[in-house]
Amino acid sequence: MSALPEDSPRERILATATRLFAERGYDATSTRAIGDAVGLNIATVAYHVGAKPELYREVMRRAHLAQREVVAEALVRLHACDPTPEETRAALLAFVDDYLTFCLRRPEVPALWMRRWLAEGADHSDIESEFAGPLVAEVAAAVRAVLDRAGLGPGADVEMLVFTIVWTSHSFGQAGVIDPAGTRRGPLDLPVLDRFRRHLHTVVTAVLDQGA
């Protein structure tokens, strides 16, 4: 089946719903608000995408697929590295950089997941069990295998490391940091972005050095 054109009613509804769910959260976003933003009535919205729960699930499914595509490609590169400690360490840091770059290029995806961290759409727990949980487990298993191959991080909690990368990348991309003057500085501030990236590398490297 060919993809729908980006200006089709369904695609416009999904794009708008993605933006509003990311900005306001599931509970504060009504189907009427989505329809108004697109210029369609509720009945037309429902015809193209179903009721609000179905629409939200499709938004989260697409967010997951975008996330999974980047992660899968990064895992291929990670597995392809030479099995030496030096090359494995560098490859894992490149994996971290790939994920951070994704978060900065697709800010709506981290925003959607962070809304869920705040218990938005709590009655849709299957989203975690079907999307987030399996992906984290897959990444943790893949990273553990690559580390074992290189003799790195025998005492590391790899699953918690994966969560740490996700938490920090999502949070920095959305909120940045606050400087001593109280000014929020985000990823568009390149020195701050470079500082954050170096700090994240330091954290990852420290975890890998456990038990070394």
Domain ranges of the chain: 1-50, 57-208
Instruction: Supply the pTM of this predicted model.
Output: 0.90
Superfamily of domain 1-50: Homeodomain-like (1.10.10.60)
Q: What pLDDT is stored for residue 211 in this prediction?
A: 55
Assess contact for 165 and 99: CB atoms under 8 A.
yes
HSE-CB at 46 with a 13 A cutoff on CA atoms is 7
DSSP 177: E
Which parts of the chain register pLDDT below 70? Answer: 1-6, 211-212
**What CA–CA distances, in Å, run from 117 to 49, 89, 171?**
25, 30, 11
Q: 143: part of which helix (H) or strand (E)?
A: helix 133-150
Coil, strand or helix at 51: coil
C-alpha 79/C-alpha 146 separation (Å) is 7
Coil, strand or helix at 106: coil
Please give the distance of CA 103 from its chain centroid, rounded to a whole number: 6
Q: What pLDDT is stored for residue 97 in this prediction?
A: 97
Q: Do domains 1-50 and 57-208 have the same CATH topology?
A: no
Q: What pLDDT is stored for residue 124 in this prediction?
A: 87
CATH 1.10.10 fits 57-208, yes or no: no
**What CA–CA distances, in Å, run from 8 to 4, 144, 155?**
7, 43, 51
Segments of 48-205 assigned E as strands: 177-178, 184-185
Q: What pLDDT is stored for residue 1 in this prediction?
A: 40
Which pLDDT tens digit goes with each residue over 173-211? 999 999 999 999 999 999 999 999 999 999 999 998 875
Single out the residue of 69, 106, 93 nearest to residue 187, CA to CA: 106
Give φ, ψ of 47 to 5 degrees: -60, -40
DSSP 129: I
C-alpha 69/C-alpha 135 separation (Å) is 11
